[in-house]
Amino acid sequence: MTRRPGVLNAYHWLIYQFGVKYWSSPLPLSCSLPGSGHWLHALPTVHLFRVSSDIYRAMLCIRLDAPVPAAEHVKACECGMTGPSLQYGYHWYSQCHKVTYNTVRHNAACGCYRDMCKKAGFHVQEGETAHWVIGAPDLRPYDGIATHPQTGERLGFDLVVADPTRHGRLPTGSQYFKRGQAAALAVHRKKCAYGRLVRTYQLRHAVDYKPIGIEVTGGLGKKAAEFFNDIVKAAQQAKTATISPSEWSWSAQSFSSFWMMWISFTVAKITALAVHHGVRRALAAHAEL
């Protein structure tokens, strides 16, 4: 499917038509986070930004908070769930216990940050092989350790992908997640868990813990955006803020624009893949009955 600037114009027109009530829904609020809409500018001339028409259509429907056409005839999920969350795809973002891409999406987003850090000149060590906790080598408090190229400071990033449609995790008295709130709460839970860990065990080396939250729409939470900006700043200082000719396009001409687009595209794509896979599994299960 060809990406056109008209997609953005249509999106803004729909926002205008829906008005304020539309923005009281958690998904459009999540779509207003930094980076959430960067994938709309991605061009398929760069091989990283190529997907099938079905997946791109699902990405657009998620962005617009519109029913996914492929789910029109789905009556029930393989897990037994019914209701409008199937037609809109919410159920498969992260809630279904039988069809989930949570780990896939998390690992892909982590890979984006790791690759970005490497391109910026950081020495990156995988969290699985770091063995940072004395007396508990099986614990993995970080998704990766990035050593700053100038200061030598160790940054331990720990990523979480939050779902603003999971109403079961709403704070008491709230009807929906506010802008960035799902990511912020997920980061808070990460901080609490890390605090318990360092009170129980000792670390081999001093590490600046960086919990970062991204939402399923591809939008960066506050901490994720701060960490992203820190990487870009370090790359600029080290004069490594460049992209290869195969990554360049007119909509991603700089280091920061390319990596913001790639993170956004990766998360939005895998969320759409989760919905697409959930629909296929539901239709197949229904056909066997």
Give the tens place of pLDDT for each residue, 233-289. 999 988 888 888 888 888 889 999 999 999 999 999 999 999 999 999 999 987 765
Kindly state the helix (H) or strand (E) to which residue 126 belongs, with its residue range.
strand 123-126
Rounded CA separation 125/120 (Å): 14
Q: Please list the ranges in the chain whose pLDDT falls under 50.
A: 1-4, 16, 18-24
Residue reference for tokens 């398929």? 44
Strand order in the sheet with 123-126: 123-126, 144-147, 154-162, 208-215
Inter-residue contact 211 to 191 (CB < 8 Å): yes
The model's pTM is 0.88
Sign of dihedral through CA atoms 39, 45, 51, 55? positive
3-state SS class at 130: coil
pLDDT of the residue at 246: 86
